Structure 1
């Protein structure tokens, strides 16, 4: 959903007279927290999947802690950029996803009924066979299932998938961030007391 939000926002930004090059001018505080967080996240998942010797054994044993560390680093990066109100939306979405993942042993719970609705039968079978290490099917023992991937996006949506409430906040935050960066103004009027962006003038 993040890719779709980015693509849609880029198109809308151009329609509103925004410039793509403005995105590169946005100052991100503590950008290295994001980079390090994502590196730890993807590396740990990769090592867990590949089962490479003692390193993978360590990751398997402490995966929930390594997973949490990656999120904490991302949280720090987001908090440092709260002046940009869109980052608050991204923070909320990330936090909601983090809460349900930690509550369920490091995996995002997914609705089996939703997978059927979205036509993702192959994904359902893979989850039944425990072949996706980052996700798990919702059962009676699942905690905070309402925060899991329970919202199906089925056809005619071009990319059928399951999303969570947190993903909606994330998508909206990314959309607003790109709008503010491209147009150097928020998508709402300043008087509205809603989302507003502040960028240094050229």
Structure 2
């Protein structure tokens, strides 16, 4: 979803006279830390899903905690770069998602009824069989369930996905950041 928001924001900004080159002029702090963490996360995920090698099971058990660590790093990065106001909104969205995930040991909880409403049969089957590396079904009665993926948007878009309130803030922040940066005059 974030990729869609980024592309959409770039297109809207270009229509409104923004400049793509401004995105490459951003002076961000701790980018290296964010990149290293993202590469580590991606490498472990690819290793787990693409290769049948030793230590796969152990990495699958550790991955949700790596995912939590990645969220902490992204929040730190957002706060460190809050000279752009949009990073405050991004940090809020990430923090809301992190709060939901902490109660589920690093997995993002998803409301079953939202998947049914969307007609996301394959995703529901995967979650019911615990086949997802990043998501799990929501269990009633847990703290912060309101922050889980509970908003189905598949009926309104071509994306058959369920988002959280944190995803809404994250998307809004990304859009605002790209709009702000691309419209700046240098």
Please say whether Structure 1 and Structure 2 have the same fold, judged by a TM-score greater than 0.5: yes
Larger radius of gyration: 1
Instruction: Assess if the C-alpha contact under 8 Å between 2:68 and 2:101 holds in 1.
Output: no
Per-residue CA deviations over 1:46-87 (Å, capped at 9, x if unaligned) read 344456313x35434544443332222222221210111111
Query: Where does residue 133 of structure 2 map in the other structure?
Result: 133
Give CA deviations for 1:70-119 in whole Å, capped at 9, x if unaligned: 22222222121011111111111111111111211111100110001112
SS, match of residue 132 in structure 2: coil
Distance 1:117 1:62 in 2: 32
Q: Is the 8 A contact 1:40 1:70 kept in 2?
A: no
The aligned counterpart of 1:115 is 115
The Cα of 1:8 is off from its aligned counterpart by 1.9
User: In the TM superposition, what is the alpha-carbon distance from 1:27 to its structure 2 partner?
Assistant: 1.3
In the other structure, the counterpart of 1:15 is: 15
Rounded Cα–Cα distance in structure 2 between residues aligned with 1:79 and 1:21 = 24
Structure 2 residues not aligned, in runs of 5+: none
Q: Where does structure 1 lack aligned partners over 5 or more consecutive residues?
A: 185-200
The total of aligned residue pairs comes to 185
* 2:21 aligned with 1:26: no
Q: Distance in 2 between matches of 1:110 and 1:129?
A: 14
- Scaled by the length of structure 1, the TM-score of the pair is 0.83
Aligned to 2:151: 151
Q: 1:65 to 1:131 in 2, by over 3 A?
A: closer
Instruction: Name the residue aligned to 2:90.
Output: 90
Asked if the contact 2:114–2:151 (Cα under 8 Å) also holds between the matched residues in 1, the reply is: yes
Worse-superposed segment, 104-113 or 133-142: 133-142
CA distance in 2: counterparts of 1:81 and 1:139, whole angstroms:
35
The Cα RMSD (Å) is: 1.9
Structure 2 vs 1, CA of residues 129 and 58 (structure 1 numbering), >3 Å: closer, same or farther? closer
Match of residue 168 from structure 1 = 168
* Residues 64, 134 of structure 2: 8 Å contact kept: no
